[in-house]
Structure 1
Amino acid sequence: MYARRRRLPTKPAAPPWKWALLLSLAALLIGGGWWAVTRPRNPAAQPAATARTVTQDWATLQGFGPRPVGTPPHDAAAEWLTAQFNALGYRVTRQPVTLDRPFDGGGTVQVGQLVVPAAALYGAGGGEQTGRLVRVPAGTSTERMEALGLRAQIALATCTGWAGDDVTWSDLVDRALRAGALGLVLVQDCDTLQVQRVPATPLPIVQLSAADGKRVLARAGQTATVTSSVEFRRVTGHNLIAARVNAAPQIVFGAHLDSVNGSPGANDNASGVLAVLATARRAATLPLAEQAWFVLFDAEEDGLYGSRAFARDPAYPIRETRAMFNLDMVGVAAEPLGLAGNAEVLALARQLRPGVRVFEDDPLPSRETFGRTRELGGSSDHVSFLRWGVRGVFFHRGLDDHYHAPGDRTLDPALVQDTADFAMQLAERVLDAPWTPREPCGITGRDCRN
């Protein structure tokens, strides 16, 4: 046998472009498959979800109790609401809302040998101060407090006589601090126990029970030491943004999920939450579902943190929003259903309900108010949208006797449903009306006026 001296014929090598084409096709197939698996989808709608009522929803939501941000009941309520929106075919996105909240660590008021327990009012920073107890009568002005010698002393006040007037705890604290007080002791003899937020201050602002307060009141004019421990903790809540995957936020239905410390928050603001859920339920089978977002904002009671974060989020196409409807305290008929906000939308509301109540609301208070006050008629999450030029409308039935109180335990499902129905009708009217987008009001929104 002779050794082979030349190669056998071979198949010509494939040109590089063919290999590139095969690799490209493989990449497209893999990428397409990955996109098909991971792309956002609307949850499967459950027929039973559309048959639920506000009454049934309230029976579940009230079982969670008070819902301050950063507490287990709040988180449990958020989980349940997410499940309700999912069952209606909406995809829920959670937007983190982080803030520092004060938590009362206990305190005392000591007058001579008498020592009684005290609790910090929400918003106060705590501390220890010693001074003479100066009795502050009902409705006392700052000037009158100064004349009473309050400067560098401790103010002593009761609920009786001023809580029913157009005076809030926030007003009282503000006046006392401007009069030079080193602290304030409030005796909780209110007919309705309130838990209003007071202006942030490093001074001790405390409350006593009616029984302990009576003993301290008997010692007015004596020197007292007020001690209050307050811990600020970083907590994270979440805005719940329910929408169909491709829905444009031409209408934003919003309400705040959280409640103040110690209050079950039935009217403020489970009523608004249930109204938003009711609008989402009704819209689920209508074209409106592709034109609306349903948002439950967090940390409204702490200073509109949730709505502010949402409105300034670059991922939120704010210029697509024709109107934002803020549903807050709509389950108790303290007053007939009223609206405040954008004049153009209010005109459309009057066409639907000629007798609808319209009230004034200052959307841009000159200083931070940390929520609603009687003077403002109710500042709430719509303010965060007005700052950016969005036509905000505030749905509200007035301040009831249990506003920010442990007694805020009941609501009327019929009033909630009526609010949801009216909001839906107004949304359709807004979508049908001519609209020209407005330019956003800048980074801070300080100069926006509606």
Structure 2
Amino acid sequence: MYRKTMAVMLTAGLILSPVSFSANAASSTSNNPSDHAFDNKVIKKIKVDNMYDNIALLSKQPRVAGTEGEYEAVQYIKNQFEEYGYDTELQPFTMYDWDPGVSTLSIEGGDFTGDTRSFYASANESVTSQLEFVGLASPEEVSEDVKGKIALIERGQYTFYEKIENVLEKGAIGVVMYNAEGQSGNNFGSVYLGQDIPAIALTREDGLELVERLQNKEITATLSVENANFVAKTSYNVIAKKEPHPNKDNGQIVTVGAHHDSVPNGPGANDDASGVAATLELARILAKTPTDTELRFVTFGAEERGLLGSYHYADTLSDEEIENSVAHFQLDMVGSKDAGDLIMFTPDGEKNLVTDIGASAGARISEVVDYGQLGRSDHVPFFEKGIPSALFIHAPFEPWYHSPEDTLDKISKEKLQNVAEIVGASVYQIARPDTPALENSNVAPSPADYDFDYRPL
């Protein structure tokens, strides 16, 4: 999770001000017929089958950043934007993948046959010592007994960084971690900067076998990691731009985004082919719609690797582009029939222009959308640049989040339609040619009273 505490700063010269658009007004529905008339210019054009078909196509295979699967998705997205008439570019950036090399765990006596995999950024080293089981490696569980030994740790409850730091502080020379209850495989784990230690992952079954054996006698083991290293790969952002009407250009920029990459071994139908599909559909219907605002539709690469694509995009923005950017709408996991209700998350848990207008649009179209606090998606780099931004997502997450079961059959057309309508109406509220308008009661939407929601994930 990538969070910073910098306050949301509205850009200088912002025409649509949340000061004039009060989020604390008592009204939660719109009685202004013109509001619905303007909304209908967008939402009546939305075709949910377009979104569903795009999810079906994108989720045929994993789209892991830096792989052929991602590149094929990127080419498809680019072609779609271009068919709609957008000036579209691929923005490549370098990321570093992890080659786990060769790792082994040899037990004295040679009768352990478990499968091993090195942690991301593990040190290349071979160490021999006794195994010491430290449970979840909480500060209370890790004692001086681990000094000079290889720590055997159960995954869960604490971060990888915290677990490794706790045993390092007590003098451990290696880490063996087994998977948490309900989790399969051994493809997990990361060593962080400054934690120079060999670390490997085991399946839960193999780890529990070692725990059981340690109850009967001490075990001496040799932990070895060899030839593990970083490999440079290329991921991409796809950027589509629509210039405003030349006679009505107010200099503002609104961005709608989603991430196109998926986790390994996952088709990523909801995470985040659903967000990409909604982004493409909004781009389609707004392509020929007159606006006084520049619209940008961006799909980001390597979100699952730490928001790498969106950080790269944000870092390439000029000072002028940042100043002119008045809103960013991030669509992530917006279609699962098994997830909770729609919510708008901001990194600092504060309302901003995007949540104000999103709540109002929700009140007009279906129901008020509440807000909460969460980073972990591509709205964060925009927030850190001072651009009002919010993540539109359903929470709590579905049970198969980040799993091979994130498939097309779990997608709800009703949820897709609802999110596309709310975000589409919100974007058009800012970009339509009669804005700046919030001070003009003839075209300003009725504000909505919406609340902070301590929504679990």
Q: TM-score, normalised by structure 2?
A: 0.70
Query: 214-223 or 294-303: which moved more?
Result: 214-223
Q: Give the equivalent residue in structure 1 for 2:26.
A: none
- Kindly state the Cα deviation for residue 381 of structure 1 after the two structures are TM-superposed: 1.6
- Kindly state the Cα deviation for residue 199 of structure 1 after the two structures are TM-superposed: 4.5
- Change in Cα spacing, 1:416 to 1:198, as seen in structure 2 (3 Å) is farther
Q: Give the equivalent residue in structure 2 for 1:298.
A: 301
- Give matches, 1:3-402, under 5 Å: 53-63=50-60, 65-112=61-108, 113=110, 114-122=112-120, 124-138=122-136, 140-146=137-143, 149-159=145-155, 162=156, 167-169=158-160, 171-188=162-179, 190-193=181-184, 198-200=190-192, 201-220=195-214, 221-229=218-226, 230-244=228-242, 250-288=253-291, 291-314=294-317, 317-332=321-336, 333-341=338-346, 343-345=351-353, 346-353=355-362, 355-361=368-374, 378-398=375-395, 399-402=397-400
The one-letter code of the counterpart of 1:350 is A
Q: Please say if residues 97 and 231 of structure 2, whose CA atoms lie closer than 8 Å, have aligned partners that are also in contact.
A: yes
Alpha-carbon displacement from aligned partner over 1:176-214 (angstroms, at most 9, x marks no partner): 445543333232364243855634344333222344334
Q: Please say if residues 192 and 405 of structure 1, whose CA atoms lie closer than 8 Å, have aligned partners that are also in contact.
A: no
Instruction: Give the total of aligned pairs.
Output: 364
Q: Please say if residues 272 and 330 of structure 1, whose CA atoms lie closer than 8 Å, have aligned partners that are also in contact.
A: yes
- SS at 1:78 equivalent: helix
- SS at 1:96 equivalent: strand
- Change in Cα spacing, 1:80 to 1:187, as seen in structure 2 (3 Å) is same
- Kindly state the Cα deviation for residue 218 of structure 1 after the two structures are TM-superposed: 3.2
- Kindly state the Cα deviation for residue 155 of structure 1 after the two structures are TM-superposed: 2.5
- Kindly state the Cα deviation for residue 433 of structure 1 after the two structures are TM-superposed: 6.2
Q: Which has the higher contact order (CA 8 A, sep 6+)?
A: 2
In structure 2, C-alpha distance between the alignment counterparts of 1:67 and 1:152, rounded to whole Å: 42
In structure 2, C-alpha distance between the alignment counterparts of 1:325 and 1:85, rounded to whole Å: 18
- Change in Cα spacing, 1:137 to 1:210, as seen in structure 2 (3 Å) is closer
Instruction: Report which of the two structures shows the higher radius of gyration computed on alpha carbons.
Output: 1
Q: Please say if residues 96 and 238 of structure 1, whose CA atoms lie closer than 8 Å, have aligned partners that are also in contact.
A: yes
Q: Give the equivalent residue in structure 1 for 2:4.
A: none
* Percent of matched pairs sharing the same residue: 28
- Kindly state the Cα deviation for residue 232 of structure 1 after the two structures are TM-superposed: 0.7
In structure 2, C-alpha distance between the alignment counterparts of 1:178 and 1:267, rounded to whole Å: 40
In structure 2, C-alpha distance between the alignment counterparts of 1:51 and 1:89, rounded to whole Å: 21
RMSD, matched Cα: 3.1
Q: Please say if residues 349 and 426 of structure 1, whose CA atoms lie closer than 8 Å, have aligned partners that are also in contact.
A: yes
The one-letter code of the counterpart of 2:277 is L
